[in-house]
Structure 1
Amino acid sequence: MDQLLSPKQVHSEYGFKPQTLANWRWMGMGPDYIKTTPGRGGRIKYRRSSIERWLHEQTVRGGAAA
């Protein structure tokens, strides 16, 4: 089973501040997330696999691609 992390847990394990995660959600970027309750104040969770996949997708290879 894939572990669900709160924005605070993402911050402590990966270093992304909760406000940064919120900004990314608002801009439609960043890792995929789950909204467990409706509305503006809804609870947000991140699957660990989604964060790892997003980080992998952000990897830039050195050389001409950089």
Structure 2
Amino acid sequence: MTPQAQTRKSTHSRSLGVPVSTLYQWRYRRVGPKASRVGRHLRYDPADVRAWVARQAA
């Protein structure tokens, strides 16, 4: 995955309809989509988020 392919937590927060704090909780509990830390920021691979959403819907 290239850095350009990674997206911000706020983008996924809006698309999933959950607060950013929920993404942090999911990451801490290891139940949400896979995220990478870039410095102090979280970044998500859109393909990982889509796969996670698909698994939740199944």
Q: Fold conserved (TM > 0.5)?
A: yes
Which has the greater radius of gyration?
A: 1
**Per residue, is there more strand in 1 or in 2?**
2
Q: Which residue number corresponds to residue 21 of structure 2?
A: 19
More helix by share: 2
* Residue ranges of structure 1 left out of the alignment (5+ in a row): 61-66
Match of 1:29 in 2: 31
In the other structure, the counterpart of 1:57 is: 55
The Cα offsets for residues 18-40 of structure 1, whole Å up to 9 and x where unpaired, read as 10000001111100011112xxx
| Distance (Å, rounded) in 1 between the aligned partners of 2:44 and 2:18 | 12
Secondary structure of 1:22 counterpart: helix
Tell me by how many angstroms 1:11 deviates. Answer: 1.8
What is the TM-score of this pair, normalised by structure 1?
0.72
Percent pairwise identity:
18
Corresponding residue of 2:8: 6
Structure 1 outlier segments of 4+, above 4 Å: none
Residue identity matched to 2:7: L
Number of residues of Structure 1 aligned to a counterpart in Structure 2: 56
Structure 2 alignment gaps of length 5 or more: none
